[in-house]
Structure 1
Amino acid sequence: MAEMIKEPIENYGLSSKDRKKTLFSKIGIVGCGKEGSKIATVAATAGIEVVFLEISDDRIQQAFDRIGSELDMRIATWGLTESEKKTILGRIKGTLTFAAFKNCDFVIEAVRYDDNGERSLNHRKEIFHELENILAEDAIIATNASSVVITELASELKYKERCVCLHFVMMQPQSRILEIVRGLYTSDSCYNKVCQFAKLIGYDFVTVEESAGLISNRLFFILLNEACAILQEGLTTPIEIDSIIKVGLGQRQGVFCMADQMGIEKIVPQMEDLYKEFGSLKYKPSPLLLRLNRAKRWGVSTRIGFYEYDEEGNRIINENEKK
C-alpha cells in the first residue's frame, strides 16, 4: 500500500494562522463628530470595519444617532434597504480608549472643533503620539484637515514616514472626492496605500502640496466672500444668490447653504488663518461673516445662519418663496 501523503491543513484555508491580513480590513477614527461620522459611514458602506474613539458614552451614542440618520435618508431615497443599514451599523463600533485601535492598519484623526471653531494643534500632536504607541510600525496615521500642515504633526514621531493628510471635501452632501497631501516625510508606500483607500471607498482624489486651505477651501472662501459683498450691497437676497449658484453655475447647493452646513464658527477662523498665511484681502472674512459669528448665528447647528432651520436641520421656507 502506497504511503499516505500528509499536508498541513492550514494550506487549505481552514485556519487563519499565517493568513495575510487584508489591507484596510479595519480602520480607526479619532473623533466622530460631523466629519468623523461621515468617514465612518463611507468606510463601513464599503465593507470596512470601523472603530471610532469618543470622550464619553453620550458622544458615542450621538455619533451612532448621526450615522443612523444619514442611513435613514438613504433609505428614504431608495438608495439603501433596512437590512443593508443594519449590516453597515454592525461594522461600526465606538470606544473610549486608544487601545481599541491596536489591530487597525489605518487611523484618521478627525477631532471636533471647539466653541471657537478651532482644533488645537497641540491636542492633535498628542493624539498622534498616542496612536504611535498603540499601532504597528507600518500602520498609517492620518489627519482629516485642510489647514494643518501634516509635516508639523508628524515632526516629533519616530515613524514620520507613515503620516499623511487626507481632506474629505464635505461642502456638498454627495461630495465624493479627497484631497491627499503628502508631508515632507510621507513615504511613497504610505501615499500609494492612501490612494488605494480612496479607490476602495469609491472616492476620486487629487494630490495637493502642503498648503493652508488646500484647493477646496481657498476656492470656496473666495466665492463666499464675494457672495457676502453682493448681499451687503443690497443687490438681491441670499436665496436669489444661491439660485444663481445652483442654476446658473450648475452647483448642487448655493454658497450660503454650504456655509450654514459647514458652520460659520469654523469658516471664520479658517479664513483668518488663510489671511495671515497669504496676506491677501480675498481671504479676509467678510464683515457679514464676522457679524454672524459674533451673534452665534452659525448655521444649521444653531438653527439660524444665513437661513433658518428646524430641529432636524431642514431649511425653513418663508412665505415669499412659497409664492
Structure 2
Amino acid sequence: MGTGLAERFAGHGLTVTLIDTDPEQLDSARRNVETFERTSPLLGLAYTPSSNVSELVTYSDQMADLCGVDYVIENVTEDFSVKRDVYSTIDDVCGSQMVVAANTSCIPITRLAGVRSCPENTIGIHFMNPVPKKDTVELIRGRQTGERAVEQTLGLLKRTGIRPIGVNDSAGFVTNRVLMMTINEAAFLVHEGVAQAEHIDDIFRSCFGHASGPLETADLIGIDVILASIDELYKEYGDPKYRACPLLRMMVDSGDTGRKKGVGFYQY
C-alpha cells in the first residue's frame, strides 16, 4: 500500500520519500509509480494527477532519509514488534515532535502511540486499497492524540482530496472488524468446499453491488495481511469468532499471498 500512498500524494504535487528495507520492493514501487504516471488519465480518478509524479517520489532503504520531512506515514507489516522498532527509529531520526500517522489494519492506535516518548504526536489513518482511487479514510484518535496531530493530519488529507471519517480507537476500527470477518467466512466456504472463490465473489458483486468480492479483495490486500489482522483481532478480543480459517494460514505458509505474488485465491 505504500506505493499507492506515494502515487496519491505525489499525484497532488507533494514530494514523497518512500522507504523500504527490501531493494526489490523499492524497484517494484518505482515501476508501479511510473506506470501510474502513464496510465492515471485512464483510471477515472476524481482529480487530475500532477504530470511529474515520478520526479516527486524518491526511494531509499535508509530510515535516515526521513530527516527533514514534514509528516510520516508508517505503513509496515501488521506486526507490533516491527512497528515498535520503526517508531523508535522515527523518533531518533525525526524527533519525538514529528507527527506520525499509523496506517494499521487492526492494531489500536493507543498501543502504538505508547511506544513513543510523545504519544500525543501519533494518530491513525486507515487508508483503503487502491489508495489513488479511494477518497475516504478512517481517522482514529488514540487516547493521547493531541490537537496538533489532528489539525496537521486534516490539513494533509484535505490537500490530497481525502475525506476522513472519525472513529473511536479499537482493534480493527470499523472497516476491518466487519471486512476481516467477511473474508474469513468466505475463506471457510472455500475451505469446506461449499463454493468456489469465483462464485462467492460473483454473488457479492451481482447480489449486493460490491465492486469486488471478499476474496478478490483479500488477494488485493494480501493474504498475509489478512491473516495477521485476523490474528490481531483474536488476540485483542479473545472471541472465537475471530479464529482464522486454516486455509488462510496454509496459503501464507506456501507463499500464495495474492496479487503481489501472482497467486492467491486467483492466478495473476
With normalisation by structure 1, the TM-score equals 0.73
How far apart, CA to CA, are the structure 2 residues paired with 1:96 and 1:72? 25
Letter in 1 for 2:213: G
- In structure 1, the partner of 2:68 is 103
Give 1:215-234 correspondences, 5 Å limit.
Answer: 215-232=174-191, 234=193
Q: Is the 8 A contact 2:33 2:53 kept in 1?
A: no
SS in 2 for 1:42: helix
SS in 2 for 1:205: strand
Give 1:282-297 correspondences, 5 Å limit.
Answer: 282-297=241-256
How far apart, CA to CA, are the structure 2 residues paired with 1:165 and 1:190? 10
Question: More displaced, 252-261 or 100-109?
Answer: 100-109
- In structure 2, the partner of 1:38 is 4
Change in Cα spacing, 1:250 to 1:150, as seen in structure 2 (3 Å) is same
How far apart, CA to CA, are the structure 1 residues paired with 2:45 and 2:117? 44
Higher RCO (C-alpha under 8 Å, 6+ residues apart) = 2
Matched, 1:140 2:99: yes
Higher helix share: 2
Q: Is the 8 A contact 1:178 1:198 kept in 2?
A: no
Identify which of 210, 215, 231 aligns with 1:251. 210
With normalisation by structure 2, the TM-score equals 0.86
How far apart, CA to CA, are the structure 2 residues paired with 1:253 and 1:135? 39
Change in Cα spacing, 1:53 to 1:296, as seen in structure 2 (3 Å) is closer
Q: Is the 8 A contact 1:172 1:253 kept in 2?
A: no
- In structure 2, the partner of 1:306 is 265
- Cα shift at 1:156: 4.3
Q: Is the 8 A contact 1:171 1:258 kept in 2?
A: no
Change in Cα spacing, 1:78 to 1:221, as seen in structure 2 (3 Å) is closer
Q: Which runs of 5+ in 2 are unaligned?
A: none
- In structure 1, the partner of 2:27 is 61
Q: How many residue pairs align between the two structures?
A: 267
Change in Cα spacing, 1:236 to 1:150, as seen in structure 2 (3 Å) is closer
Aligned-pair identity in percent equals 25
How far apart, CA to CA, are the structure 2 residues paired with 1:249 and 1:224? 15
How far apart, CA to CA, are the structure 1 residues paired with 2:55 and 2:131? 26
Q: Which runs of 5+ in 1 are unaligned?
A: 1-34, 310-323
Deviation string, structure 1 residues 155-189 (Cα, Å, up to 9, x no partner): 24333221112111227873332112112221122
Change in Cα spacing, 1:73 to 1:255, as seen in structure 2 (3 Å) is farther
Matched, 1:149 2:114: no
Larger radius of gyration: 1
